[in-house]
Amino acid sequence: MAETKMRKFMNDPANVVKESLAGLAAAHPNLLRYDSAAQIVVRKDAPKQGKVALISGGGSGHEPLHGGFVGLGMLDAACPGEVFTSPVPDQMLAATKAVDGGAGVVHIVKNYTGDVMNFKMAAEDAADDGIKVSAIVIDDDVAVQDSLYTAGRRGVGATVLAEKIAGAAAESGADLTTVSDTVKRVNERARSFGVALSSCIPPAAGKPIFDLPEGEIELGIGIHGEPGRRRAQLGSAAEVVDVMVEAVMSDLKPSRGSQVLAFVNGMGGTPLIELYLLYAEVDRKLRAAGVEPVRNLIGDYITSLEMAGASLTVLHLDDDLLRLWDAPVHTPGLRWGA
Amino acid sequence: MPIEQALNGATVISWMREIESSVRAQRDYLTQLDSAIGDGDHGTNVTRGFASVVEALNGEKDAPPGRLLILAGRTLVSTVGGASGPLWGSALRSGGRVLGDSPTFDGQQLVEVLAAALASIKELGAAAPGDKTMVDALEPAVDKLRGEVAAGAQPAAALASAAAAAEAGMEATVPLQARKGRASYLGERSIGHQDPGATSTALILRALERAVAASS
């Protein structure tokens, strides 16, 4: 029988997002500040004159995305909405104004109907204020067919990689066109697929979004606790990874000998011991498929509250993307070289 | 020949209050519908949004109805988030612009307000009838309202028929496969569930009927 009772550390379900952001700011005053009136997280030294700024945002519940990726070499600001709900245009506009250093602002938007609409309204307002905005939509989830019959592929794991890589480009002084093109290139060269072993409980709802009977797995899930494309009997980790790698690689189709970044992401309720076990399978299967995972990222980076599950993102690298991936980054959620 | 009832700013304020109490009462139901094919936040979001609208409209009793609709729309955009905030927000703003600064409006103008709201939702959401969205409830309601008003019905009576058409449209979303919004990710698994956006839209039409009936 699935667990249906909500057990969460909180004071009031209505204040979970705000109180968590206050904690983020208290923990990392050297990196960022939290503007509670505008409901945005801003890099401490923003705006940096002459630097292209990057902002992203979306519903909360995906921590460390996006607030945990504000800092050196990644985002200049993040706009957190309510749990699993797109933020409002006022937040994106306030963030855009707070970080604009005169070189323009890139909006990294995950492809969800609400996010796209709200960011579009904000970009129009920012343009009215004379700020150059370039909005790039991330849609890397191969579980959703990109067709007239859906809202298009969802933006998932590639968002983290795009924020890191384009953030490094901006930090190195690249102009607005180059930084936007970098986001686009990461999106075009990355594919993802997610699976879940449980749902999750949004604090305001107090109940799981779905019940998964014992011994079953949801295949093709997104990051909002929603059910996947189909439900199947849970097989071994090797069998699950077969499905994930096949889904990603058959769509990405990198040439043999390509260098890739393999990102095994935890959905929030799966321990690292299982994520590394999955990575062993991923690494072996990618090599067997003729590509070389020269970089990897393993852990909880784009989560769905306490959902048990994992997603695989494969990014087809080139020299430029590899160099930008290796560049220094210092944020609450990701740090190396700085 | 009955005298055409005058609708005004008080009607708009009363409409927003009726919506707020209705979505609050149905909050868990809307969230339950959204959990089946979305992400379980629709009830919470529209309740938060319309509570903010009621608050924003307090003390604006003398403003013209068009201005009140624009303020209501702007408030929804700024407080709801998700997809329903921008969609209903721009719908009410478009509807309000139809009325300009006119102190009152009649049945025919009400048709134009709702038609502008529908056009705005279809444009922003790129949704067509049959996509399993709020359009499936709103479009039949607007068509019905237009027909009834053209045939000489009083606004309250015409709205009763329009709200019934919205409810029929809402129920007709059950067998549809979603083509827009988060439910579309489910593909065929979205079949057999009633669309939460069409459901709140039907509540919004019923609320309008009550507000207009109380104005007469």
Reported ipTM exceeds the 0.85 cut = no
Q: Express as a percent the part of chain A with pLDDT over 90.
A: 88
pLDDT score of A28 more than 50: yes
- For position B3, what pLDDT does the model report? 53
**pLDDT confidence of B1, banded at 50, 70, 90?**
very low
pLDDT exceeds cutoff 90 at B6? no
Residue A171 CA to residue A48 CA, distance in Å, equals 10
Provide the number of structural domains found in chain B: 1
Q: How far apart are CA A117 and CA B132, in angstroms?
A: 18
Give domain limits for chain A. Answer: 14-189, 190-317
Mean pLDDT (whole number) for A262-272: 98
What does the pLDDT look like over A272-330, one tens digit per residue?
A: 999 999 999 999 999 999 999 999 999 999 999 999 999 999 999 999 999 999 999 99
Most trustworthy range by pLDDT among A39-43, A120-124, B55-59? A39-43
Q: Residues A101-142: pLDDT tens digits?
A: 999 999 999 999 899 999 999 999 999 999 999 999 999 999
CA atoms within 13 A on the CB side of A125: 18
Exposed/middle/buried for residue A251 (C-beta within 10 Å: 0-12, 13-18, 19+): middle
For residue range B116-170, list pLDDT tens digits in order.
999 999 999 889 999 999 999 999 999 999 999 999 999 999 999 999 999 999 9
| Mean pLDDT, chain B, whole residue set | 93
Q: Which fold has domain A190-317?
A: Hypothetical Protein Tm841; Chain: A;domain 3 (3.30.1180)
User: For the whole model, what pTM was predicted?
Assistant: 0.89
Digit-coded pLDDT (tens) for A190-215: 999 999 999 999 998 888 888 889 99
Residue B1 lies in a domain: no
Name the pLDDT band for A144 (thresholds 50, 70, 90). Answer: confident
Tokens of A234: 């849970």
Q: How many CA atoms lie within 13 A of B185 on its CB side?
A: 28
pLDDT of residue A1: 42
Q: Which of A191, A190, A185, A140 is nearest to A166 (CA)?
A: A185
Which residues on B lie below 8 Å from A222 (Cβ)?
Answer: 182, 185
State how far residue B120 is from chain A, nearest Cα, in angstroms.
13
CATH number of residue B160's parent domain: 1.25.40.340
Cross-chain Cβ contact A117/B86 below 8 Å: yes
Contacts of A114 in chain B (CB under 8 A): 81-86
**Each residue of A55-91: pLDDT tens digit?**
999 999 999 999 999 999 999 999 999 999 999 999 9
Substitution target from B30, B135, B185, B193 for chain A, most A beta carbons within 10 A: B185
Among residues A234, A239, A307, A300, the alpha carbon closest in space to that of A272 is found at A300
Find the mean pLDDT for residues B181-202.
91
- Report residue A152's pLDDT band, with 50, 70 and 90 as the boundaries: confident
**Is the pLDDT reported for residue B11 higher than 70?**
yes
Residue type, A83: V
Cross-chain CB nearest to B179 (options A112, A118, A150): A150
Note whether B81 and A87 are within 8 A (CB): yes
- Phi-psi region at A72: left, alpha or beta (left = phi > 0; alpha = psi -120 to 50): beta
Query: Hey, what CATH topology would domain A14-189 get?
Result: Rossmann fold (3.40.50)
Given a cut of 90, whether residue B187 has pLDDT beyond it is no
Judged by a CB distance cut-off of 8 A, whether residue A182 touches chain B is no
Q: What is the pLDDT of residues B149-160, one digit of tens each?
A: 999 999 999 999
Interface with chain B: mutation pick from A17, A40, A88, highest number of B CBs within 10 Å: A88
Structural domain harbouring B162 = 7-215
Query: What is the DSSP pairing of strand A335-336 with strand A292-299?
Result: unpaired
The DSSP output letter for A299 is E
